[in-house]
Homo-oligomer: A and B are copies of this chain.
Amino acid sequence: MGDKTMTTTEVGRSLPRLEARQKVTGRANYTHNLKLPGMVHAKVFRSTVPHGKILSIDTAEAASYPGVAAVVTGKDILDVVPEPYYGPAFHDQPILALNKVRYVGEPVAVVLADDPRIAAEAVELIDAVYEELPAVYDETEAMTSDAVVHDELKPAGTFPDLKHLNGRKDTNIALDFHLKQGHADAAFASAAHVFAHSFQTQQTMHTPMEPIISLAEPSGDRLIIHTASQSPSFVRSEVARLLGWSENRVQVKVGHLGGGFGAKLYIKLEALVAALALLCRRPVRLSLSMEEQFYTISKHASTFHIKSAVDKDGRITARKCEVLWNGGAYADIGPRVTQKSGFTATGPYDIAAADIDSYALYTNRPPAGALRGFGIPQLVWAYESHTDLIARELGMDPVEFRRRNILKDGRPHVTGTVMKDAAIDAVLETLAERMRWSEPFDRGEGTVKRGRGVAIGFKACVSPTTSVATVTVAADGSVTLHHATVDMGQGSDTAMAQIVAEVLGVRTEEIRVVDPDTDVTPYDMATLGSRSTFHMGNAVRKAAEHARTQLDDMAKSLGMAETAAGRVKEVFRRTYGMQAGTVVGVGTYIPEYVSPNEDGLSDNVTPFWMIGGTGVEVEVDTETGRTKLLKMVNAADLGTALNPRIVETQLSGAAIMQLGFTVSEEMILDGGQVTNASLADYKIPGIKDIPPVIENCIVDAHTETGPFGAKGVGESATFGVSPAVAEAIQDACGVRLTRLPMTAEAIFHALHGDKK
């Protein structure tokens, strides 16, 4: 599939996103704009205690409030969903709390009203009484705490490898993943040097521009769900499962998303609006406020203990990693983060022996799930900070230390999988070159100091997963693509259309891309983990090639040499007589994959590796602790770029997002209550926080199994940001921070010996 010498015209062209004009003219199809006749608005009443038994819920006053259509509690949900627990990894999350609440902000009841303001007013009239239970918030404490969040584990059947957890009781460990490669203990015993550090990350938010929103409408004996979701196929199957319906009775429609970043995966509001719509037999709309998003989904806080054995030449001979993932009150996809990211915890280095222990933990925090990077930024933060600290202790240049240990193609990763099409060294060398690493560096003057750092990371892609696409060609040669990859701003519609255009020999702008609709677009696992370009890209390419083959066959049987160049109409006319027809091409793609054995080892653990790194130059005001980024260089191996311009915006977008998690963003909890649940108090990067110089570098690479050599890129530039900034701060002013975010306050305290 990936002939590197192939000349392409549509693939590799930096055309603007197909929907750009619609977006800037306000005509793009967002779920928020949808008005359904007769719809009611839902407002959620939420728990005020972090852990407790529900003793009573008094809804009487709310129910009689003028304009209220209905008030619904968890018990009412049972009328339409007898087993109302959902989740992609565990069936642990109730549609509305039943018997217990497990975090502050958990949905307990819902008010429905024609006017959303009435619903909001009536919610204030609901009163719930709880018997409080002991709570736990910290991942390390959760390992041993008597405060147990769930009485019993209920893994979802969709992950057969989690079945062994079924019925596990009295533990907050939702999943423990272990990898054992070689003999780490022996290597440590004989090591020239041993280094051990611990690092922490904080709980943060996705903050997509478009809030989380879902609508459900009953339609005959069916249900239509309109939702800003990254995973329409999953929503369909999970809602069907909850209702006990066949999948084709549930239709999930998705328009453009105003960002997702993992916040809009699996079930968020869909099960709730589905149940509400069936209860009241009217369309129901639920859109979250910014505050409510803090109570819905977040990024895992984590604690990472990392220890390396290094020989006298500066070669890492063994590494031990223990990672604790703070999953909050419901598992969401956390166990998968624990497992799928866990095995890369040793970093992109050539290490013969490793022990990895990775734990998914329940706590009484708002749930954590996938957020751009799926755990990798937390890992890279730790292992690259650790890398820099080792280099410092060895007195080596940190780039040179990395060069000495880097994992090259043809060498085995600690899982046993031999690296292929993974240009880790090229990413490192690109950063070194663009950062002018070997050249003298201005270290600032007076109280304003300058420093720099680079860091690299890598990520395996979630596997095994499936994508299916269809490509139809009408009699005039015009082409329509049906696929369920959700375009949430990353430009997937455009990239997929480029693949179709390349195969069929037409212009990308002429391709019609149909919005995801489970009645129409075939199955796709989900839009997550930078999997779409590769997985769906391959499915789309196969579908287009299938269509192309049929057109070619039609042309051949007519004795014609060509089909594409404007002769499609003729081929159709001559094949189908006076009438037309439709050529339908179907493509299904499932990459090869070998499940890890009981030691966490596998010959083929990922269909491809994403590699990214960042270099930064910072200026630290040592009087205030304030850090300013002067320059940022992002480099990535994304195979061959389908659309270089879009790729570059993915790189800078990911890096700036991670910059927020690095220097400012943190959900602050007090007694389980988020105390900064607004964008006034929770600081995402603004235009003035963005470095004045950003360079985005696509390294020369090619992925043999990718569509036209391409692979994913949406997360790659998140990897290196945090450790690069930490190293640059230390390089500037001598202090090393091991916990994110590295706020001015934290640096100030570190500088002045007043550790908080």
Taken together as a complex, chains A and B put the C-alpha atoms of A334 and B380 apart, in Å, by 73
Per-residue 0/1 for A570-603: is the Cβ within 8 Å of any B Cβ (1 yes, 0 no)?
0000001111111010101010010000000000
From A49-57, A419-427, A476-484, A665-673, give the one contacting chain B: A476-484
Per-residue 0/1 for A482-525: is the Cβ within 8 Å of any B Cβ (1 yes, 0 no)?
10000000000000000000000000001110100101101101
Minimum Cβ distance to chain B for residue A8 (Å): 22
A83: CB under 8 A from chain B?
A: no
Find residues 198-257 in chain A having any chain B CB closer than 8 Å to their own CB.
Answer: 219-222, 233, 236-237, 240, 246-249
A5: CB under 8 A from chain B?
A: no
- Which residue in B21, B475, B579, B586 is a CB contact (below 8 Å) of A464? B579
Taken together as a complex, chains A and B put the C-alpha atoms of A34 and B430 apart, in Å, by 57
Do A476 and B520 touch across chains, with their CB atoms under 8 A apart? no
Taken together as a complex, chains A and B put the C-alpha atoms of A472 and B478 apart, in Å, by 23
Taken together as a complex, chains A and B put the C-alpha atoms of A586 and B482 apart, in Å, by 14
Find residues 152-190 in chain A having any chain B CB closer than 8 Å to their own CB.
Answer: 158-161
Do A480 and B519 touch across chains, with their CB atoms under 8 A apart? yes
Residue of B nearest to A245 (CB): B478
Do B522 and A466 touch across chains, with their CB atoms under 8 A apart? no
Residue of B nearest to A543 (CB): B584
Do A584 and B581 touch across chains, with their CB atoms under 8 A apart? no
Per-residue 0/1 for A445-465: is the Cβ within 8 Å of any B Cβ (1 yes, 0 no)?
000000000000000000011
Taken together as a complex, chains A and B put the C-alpha atoms of A478 and B511 apart, in Å, by 30
Taken together as a complex, chains A and B put the C-alpha atoms of A400 and B161 apart, in Å, by 78
Known A-B contacts A249-B478, A586-B584; the reply to A514 vs B525 at CB < 8 A is no
Known A-B contacts A247-B478, A480-B248, A590-B577; the reply to A519 vs B514 at CB < 8 A is yes
A22: CB under 8 A from chain B?
A: yes
A752 partner residues in chain B, CB cutoff 8 A: none
List the number of copies, as a whole number: 2
A468: CB under 8 A from chain B?
A: yes
A219 partner residues in chain B, CB cutoff 8 A: 27
Do A580 and B523 touch across chains, with their CB atoms under 8 A apart? yes
- Which residue in B246, B468, B581, B590 is a CB contact (below 8 Å) of A478? B246
Do B21 and A220 touch across chains, with their CB atoms under 8 A apart? yes
- Which residue in B517, B523, B579 is a CB contact (below 8 Å) of A525? B579
A586 partner residues in chain B, CB cutoff 8 A: 584, 586
A477 partner residues in chain B, CB cutoff 8 A: 246
Taken together as a complex, chains A and B put the C-alpha atoms of A340 and B5 apart, in Å, by 55
Minimum Cβ distance to chain B for residue A501 (Å): 12
A222 partner residues in chain B, CB cutoff 8 A: 512
Minimum Cβ distance to chain B for residue A695 (Å): 34
Residue of B nearest to A588 (CB): B581
- Which residue in B161, B478, B582 is a CB contact (below 8 Å) of A522? B582
Do A578 and B159 touch across chains, with their CB atoms under 8 A apart? yes
Minimum Cβ distance to chain B for residue A117 (Å): 22
A358: CB under 8 A from chain B?
A: no
Taken together as a complex, chains A and B put the C-alpha atoms of A741 and B222 apart, in Å, by 47
Do A522 and B248 touch across chains, with their CB atoms under 8 A apart? no
A753: CB under 8 A from chain B?
A: no
- Which residue in B236, B523, B582 is a CB contact (below 8 Å) of A468? B582
Taken together as a complex, chains A and B put the C-alpha atoms of A603 and B246 apart, in Å, by 48
Do A237 and B465 touch across chains, with their CB atoms under 8 A apart? no
Do B577 and A510 touch across chains, with their CB atoms under 8 A apart? no
Minimum Cβ distance to chain B for residue A226 (Å): 15
Minimum Cβ distance to chain B for residue A482 (Å): 8
Do B221 and A474 touch across chains, with their CB atoms under 8 A apart? no
Taken together as a complex, chains A and B put the C-alpha atoms of A512 and B475 apart, in Å, by 27
A440: CB under 8 A from chain B?
A: no
A37: CB under 8 A from chain B?
A: yes
A470: CB under 8 A from chain B?
A: yes
What 7 A-B pairs are tightest by C-beta distance, nearest first? A246-B478, A522-B582, A248-B512, A248-B478, A464-B577, A523-B582, A247-B474
30 A-B residue contacts at CB 8 Å? Answer: A21-B221, A22-B220, A158-B578, A158-B579, A222-B512, A233-B580, A236-B474, A237-B474, A237-B475, A246-B476, A246-B477, A246-B478, A247-B475, A248-B474, A249-B478, A249-B512, A466-B577, A466-B580, A468-B581, A470-B470, A470-B584, A482-B520, A514-B520, A517-B520, A519-B520, A525-B580, A576-B590, A577-B590, A581-B590, A582-B588
Query: Hey, which bits of chain A sit against chain B, CB under 8 A?
Result: 19, 21-22, 27, 35, 37, 158-161, 219-222, 233, 236-237, 240, 246-249, 464-466, 468, 470, 472, 474-480, 482, 510-512, 514, 517, 519-520, 522-523, 525, 576-582, 584, 586, 588, 590, 593
